[in-house]
Chains A and B, each alone.
Chain A
Amino acid sequence: MLALMIFILALSFLDMMFISGVLVGITDSQMHALRNYLSADINIAPQQTPQLKQYIPNQAQLRAQIETLPGIIATARHYNMAGSLSFDKDKTGQFKIVSGAIIGIDPESEWKVLTLNQLLIRGSNLALGDTDQILLSSSLAGGYGAIARQGSDLGGVKVGDKIRITFANGSIRTYNVKGIYNDIMGIAETFITSNEAESILSVHDSASHILVKANIDRVPVAVYESKIVAMAPNLHIQNYNDLLGSFASFLKALNFIQLIVGAISVIVAAITIFVLIYVNAINKRRQIGILKAIGIKKSIIVNAYILQSFFYTVCGVFTGLFLVFGVLQPLLIAYPVPVVVGLMNLTLVYTPMPVILGIISFLVAGFFAGRIPSNLVARQDILKAIWG
């Protein structure tokens, strides 16, 4: 009976920890992916007021300045352009056309900030000197198991194929597909080198955006952000939290679910302990009556049951902790279960504070779940308790 109750409590604790761990894991993976593939930690855009500027001037000098800040890992620039991509797969003059964003990058610095290069599935990555090469997303290329674009792909582009791009400024150029990356984020962007972008846009040493990667494990991103704002007060600077958009409401929903699941688990555990202690106290009602009759104070009797309830709770919590950190977490590391292939595995992620709060919630639940029923029984009239 004792082992069964401890096991039930351990499962309640595990339930709370598992769901919250999975949700934190999902949030963590999403944020990680967002920062690594899309937004970086800080995004610097051109001046917006009093006059909207298209580019950030003297980007090299600004980036060099930013990179002197302690904790900054790397910076990269983007030229953001729009255009339509045309591909004649069967060489029949029948072009398939899709529109999309074309980003000019400096490959070497780019891969230090955003790691799309790690998602390459065909060919090779862009290099600094490339002018007639592009890096294409799998969702635009078509095939490769990419997130479907419902007919808005080029119908099956391979490495080495030629793509004609008509840029928004009217410039038309033809490129070889140098590599295709796995578009797990569904961004459908095409990459060219910054040198090529500058020749199309007729600009020099500028950028549509500067992306900054910082060590935010110890120093909050807002600290870096404020330092960069001080360096370039006229530019529009945001951190990745500002760029979350609709993802922020998704995260809020996850946090809410986590809270509800946690609360339900604590309530279930409290009810379990309550039933256990109540049944136990009812079974020992006569004994409680005798104890009261021989002068044992009610508070001592109640405290004995609270102690018993605490014992069950502590055993349940420790068993639960062992199941989470000793069994499930290592098991999921050894045998990953993919949630989104290539992007996210089922992982249990914990920070100390929620774990401590979970343990405290269980102990508090154990205290009250032990106190209430024992108090109910210990309050009974002595003779009624003894004779029923």
Chain B
Amino acid sequence: MIHVTDLVKTYPGKVPTPALKGVSFDINDGEIVAIMGRSGSGKSTLLHQLSLIDTPTSGSVLIDGTDVLRLSDHDKTTYRLNDLGYVFQEYALIIELTALENVYLPAMSKGTAAKIYKKRASELLDLVGLGDRITHYPVELSGGEQQRVAIARSLINAPKILFADEPTANLDMTSARIVLELFQKLNRELKQTVIMVTHEPDDMRYVNRVIWLKDGLIEKIETVNQQA
């Protein structure tokens, strides 16, 4: 369970810019939640704080009882590696590595045995429908395929939570649908908690709840599908 309390993020500068002005909410295990709002509402900022790739100005984020914001930088890195998955808007694959290598890179870094992580990476690529493309390099894959490789990579260490920052923004409608259906499948089959930022109203079909942000504050939390 994720328990967020009074999360504030202000970007420093000559004129400090408040991006989150005190956000509190809970997310249950196994939920798919979308963070939505207009541009500049603070949705990506919120995702960055939750996924520990940025540090909020104040507030707390408890994940399964652990106040993750109090962890040291080293421990945050380890936490990201072991317990969080992250899918970027722009696929963010290492172009010099094959799809398989991209997927098992975090497991390799974790110290998992090669035989195990290679097998799991293959299984994950199968799961995202790319079992026949494991030796392909990113440039040989379509945008949708690259995004699915990125999703497989985010799952390699069996994370508690999968974060996705506008994962369909750069994809055509078909690829976007495949990716969102994949999130649903992961949620259904693996009970994977997914938190994603999106600005596409159609994406609401695939999530349980939507956290609407406006000017750095929660406008409303909307339950859209009990079983997405």
Q: Which residues on A are within 8 Å of B, measured CB to CB?
A: 286-287, 290-298, 300, 381-383, 386
Q: How far is the CA of A296 from the CA of B74 in the complex (A)?
A: 10
A295 near B78 with CB under 8 A, answer yes
Q: Top 8 nearest A-B pairs by Cβ distance? A: A295-B81, A295-B80, A290-B92, A382-B53, A293-B53, A296-B109, A294-B106, A383-B54
B154 CB to closest chain A CB (Å) equals 7
> Which residues of B are in contact with A by a Cβ distance under 8 Å?
48, 51, 53-54, 74, 77-82, 84-86, 88, 92, 94, 105-106, 109-110, 153-154, 157
Name 16 interchain pairs, CB-CB below 8 A, sorted by A. A290-B94, A291-B105, A294-B105, A294-B153, A295-B81, A295-B109, A295-B110, A295-B157, A296-B77, A296-B81, A296-B105, A297-B77, A297-B78, A297-B109, A381-B54, A383-B48
Q: Which residues of B contact A382 (CB under 8 A)?
A: 53-54
Inside 8 A of A293's CB, which chain B residues have their CB? 51, 53, 80, 86, 88, 92
Q: What residues of A have a CB within 8 angstroms of the CB of B82 in the complex?
A: 295
When A and B form their complex, what is the total count of cross-chain residue pairs whose Cβ atoms lie within 8 Å? Answer: 54
Question: What would 14 more interface pairs be, CB under 8 Å, given A294-B105, A294-B154, A381-B54?
Answer: A290-B88, A290-B92, A290-B94, A292-B53, A293-B92, A294-B85, A295-B109, A296-B105, A296-B106, A296-B109, A297-B109, A382-B53, A382-B54, A383-B48
Q: Residues of B contacting A296 with CB < 8 Å?
A: 77, 81, 105-106, 109
Give complex CA distance A382, B51 in Å.
12
**Residue among A290, A293, A383 with the most chain B CB within 10 A?**
A293
CA distance A297 to B76 in the complex (A): 10
- How many angstroms between the C-alpha atoms of A292 and B105 in the bound complex? 12
Contact A292 B92 (CB under 8 A): no
Q: How far is the CA of A79 from the CA of B110 in the complex (A)?
A: 83
A181 to chain B, nearest CB (A): 69
Provide the bound-state CA to CA distance between A294 and B84, in Å: 8
Tell me, in angstroms, the Cα distance from A293 to B164 when the chains sit together.
Answer: 12
B77 near A292 (CB under 8 angstroms)? Answer: yes
CA of A294 to CA of B78, assembled, Å: 10
Name A382's closest neighbour in chain B (CB-CB): B53
Q: Are A287 and B94 in contact (CB under 8 A)?
A: yes
**Cα-based distance from A300 to B107 in the complex (angstroms):** 13
Residues of A within 8 A of B51 (CB): 293
Alpha-carbon gap, A287 to B79, bound state (A): 20
In the bound assembly, the distance between CA atoms of A99 and B106 in angstroms comes to: 88
B165 vs chain A, min Cβ distance (A): 10
Tell me the nearest residue of chain A to B88, going by C-beta. Answer: A290
- A295: B residues at CB distance < 8 A: 77-82, 84, 106, 109-110, 157
CA distance A294 to B85 in the complex (A): 7
A290 to B150 Cα, complex, angstroms? 11
| A287, A295, A296, A297 interface centre (most CB from chain B within 10 Å) | A295
Provide the residues of chain A in CB contact with B54, threshold 8 Å.
381-383
Nearest CB of A to B29, in Å: 20
CB distance from B83 to the nearest CB of A (A): 9
Report the minimum CB–CB distance from B82 to chain A (whole Å). 7
Complex Cα spacing A293 to B88, Å: 10
- Given A290-B92, A293-B86, A383-B48; A298-B53 close (CB under 8 Å): no
CB closest residue in chain B, given A290: B92
| A contact residues around B79 at 8 Å (CB) | 295
Contact in complex: B92, A300 (CB < 8 Å): no
Nearest A residue to B80 via CB reads A295
Chain B nearest CB, measured from A48 CB (Å): 74
B108 to chain A, nearest CB (A): 9
User: A300: which of B48, B109, B157 is its contact (CB, 8 Å)?
Assistant: B109
Residue of A nearest to B82 (CB): A295
Q: In the complex, what distance in Å separates the CA atom of A286 from the CA atom of B88?
A: 12
The smallest beta-carbon distance between B20 and chain A, in angstroms, is 14
A178 to B105, CA, bound (A): 86
| CA gap between A381 and B54 in the complex, in Å | 8
Q: Which residues of A contact B74 (CB under 8 A)?
A: 297
| Of listed B48, B80, B82, B153, residue having the most chain A CB within 10 A | B80
- Shortest CB-to-CB span from B61 to chain A, Å, is 16
Chain A residues within 8 Å of B94, by CB: 287, 290-291
In the complex, A286→B109 CA distance in Å? 19
Residues of chain A with a CB closer than 8 A to B81's CB: 294-297
Write the nearest CB–CB distance from A276 to chain B, whole angstroms. 17
Contacting residues, chain B, for A292 (C-beta < 8 A): 53, 77
Q: Nearest-CB distance from B31 to chain A (Å)?
A: 22
